[in-house]
């Protein structure tokens, strides 16, 4: 699962390793001492350091061993503290907006809205689907060589146009549209049974996607992304009402962040995904009657002309907030 690569899971594994190591040593020595020096066992008079039950060896002791009992645990505690502080720094350090892909996430009653502050053009992996979309200026070419595609749909700001694919040429060449990067453009390719085979999409700045309409949050892979999280009412009919508490939770990534009503600066979540896929979004804070409907999905996609890393998981999954944790 992606959560296996998060900073939190790495810290957990390190703490478990040292805990098991210390436990083996501590309990091992405890059981040896219990058996060797238990009541009723006569001390070995040939030993250099004689240990008798109920008495402390004041006159006969091992200074190096006693110092080690203090020094080694101290080093271990300092080492574990350094690991914990390093993970905290990684988790709560928020990158500059210009270095990340930025999306505002608005929690309402009871759905999520995603406001894009930067444009994104993405496409399914042509090597996996055997379909490639090339749209430049007024020339749109959909190459379907080696696939079972039969038709393509071009959607421009919600208006759809259907075209058949030339089965012989295994392609569709469409010159009806000019690529306007200020509009939300989607190209979907289907087979004869209307099964979706391939998607190409351009999200301009200002695009708003909503889980109320079944839409997903779409984030590019192999890039640091920043989500600014806000809790807002559905409308402004009551100026005194500032919304309710939500919590944006990505269960498969092992992180969540609260959305605090009335907090104008919002809270922040940053991450860098490296594997394409669809992952669930949940609300981890009871937010009212239809709290169970606060669900959605996040799609990790490759930018047009790029591909995601081959290894699965999340390279880094950090969270932070302006003035508070979760």
Q: Decide: 190 and 197 in contact? Cβ < 8 Å.
A: yes
Residue 59 sits in which domain range? 2-92
Residues linked to residue 253 through DSSP beta bridges, in sequence order: none
**Plot region of 148 (φ>0 → left; ψ -120 to 50 → alpha; else → beta):** alpha
Last residue of a domain, one of 65, 92, 119: 92
Rounded to whole angstroms, the Cα distance separating 299 from 303 reads: 12
Do 73 and 212 lie in one domain? The reply is: no
pTM for the predicted model, two decimal places: 0.73
Last residue of a domain, one of 92, 108, 138: 92
What CATH number should be reported for the domain holding residue 273? 2.60.40.420
Last residue of a domain, one of 63, 92, 121: 92
Do 29 and 145 lie in one domain? The reply is: no
Please tell me the predicted confidence (pLDDT) of residue 173: 86
Please tell me the predicted confidence (pLDDT) of residue 317: 39
Please tell me the predicted confidence (pLDDT) of residue 236: 80
- The owner of tokens 């669809």 is 278
- In which residue ranges of the chain is pLDDT below 70? 1-8, 39-61, 88-97, 309-326
Cα angle 90, 95, 97 (rounded to 5 degrees) comes to 160
Do 222 and 260 lie in one domain? The reply is: yes
- The owner of tokens 């306007």 is 180
Do 153 and 270 lie in one domain? The reply is: yes
Do 58 and 132 lie in one domain? The reply is: no
Do 48 and 110 lie in one domain? The reply is: no
139-143 and 149-156: which strand pairing? unpaired
Do 86 and 234 lie in one domain? The reply is: no
Do 25 and 109 lie in one domain? The reply is: no
Q: How many domains are there within the chain?
A: 2
Do 240 and 138 lie in one domain? The reply is: yes
- Residue 27 forms part of a structural domain: yes
Do 26 and 166 lie in one domain? The reply is: no
Do 189 and 304 lie in one domain? The reply is: yes
Please tell me the predicted confidence (pLDDT) of residue 92: 64
HSE toward the beta carbon, residue 39, CA cutoff 13 A: 2
Do 70 and 113 lie in one domain? The reply is: no
């Amino acid at each position: 699962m992606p959560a296996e690569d998060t900073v939190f899971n790495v810290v957990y594994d390190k703490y478990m390793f040292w805990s098991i190591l210390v436990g083996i040593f501590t309990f091992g020595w405890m059981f040896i001492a219990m058996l060797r020096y238990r009541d009723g066992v006569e001390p070995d008079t040939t030993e250099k350091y004689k240990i008798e039950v109920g008495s402390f060896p004041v006159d006969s002791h091992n200074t190096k061993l006693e110092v080690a009992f203090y020094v080694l645990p101290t080093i271990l505690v300092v080492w574990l503290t350094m690991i914990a502080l390093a993970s905290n720094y990684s988790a709560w350090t928020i990158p500059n907006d210009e270095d990340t892909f930025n999306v505002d996430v608005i929690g309402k009653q009871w759905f999520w809205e995603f406001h894009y502050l930067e444009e994104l053009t993405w496409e399914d992996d042509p090597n996996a689907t055997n379909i490639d979309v090339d749209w430049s200026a007024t020339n749109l070419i959909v190459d379907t060589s080696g696939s079972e595609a039969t038709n393509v749909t071009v959607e421009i700001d919600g208006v759809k146009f259907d075209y058949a694919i030339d089965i012989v040429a295994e392609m569709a060449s469409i010159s009806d549209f000019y690529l306007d990067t200020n509009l939300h453009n989607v190209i979907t390719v289907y087979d004869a049974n209307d099964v979706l085979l391939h998607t190409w999409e351009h999200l301009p700045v200002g695009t708003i996607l909503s889980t109320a309409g079944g839409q997903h949050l779409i984030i590019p892979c192999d890039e640091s992304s920043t989500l600014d999280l806000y809790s807002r009412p559905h409308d402004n009919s009551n100026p005194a009402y500032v919304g309710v508490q939500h919590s944006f939770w990505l269960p498969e990534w092992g992180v969540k962040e609260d959305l605090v009503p009335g907090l104008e600066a919002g809270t922040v979540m940053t991450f860098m995904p490296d594997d394409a896929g669809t992952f669930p979004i949940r609300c981890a804070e009871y937010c009212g009657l239809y709290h169970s409907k606060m669900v959605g999905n996040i799609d990790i996609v490759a930018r047009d002309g790029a591909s995601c890393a081959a290894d699965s998981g999340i390279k880094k999954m950090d969270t932070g907030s302006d003035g508070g944790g979760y």
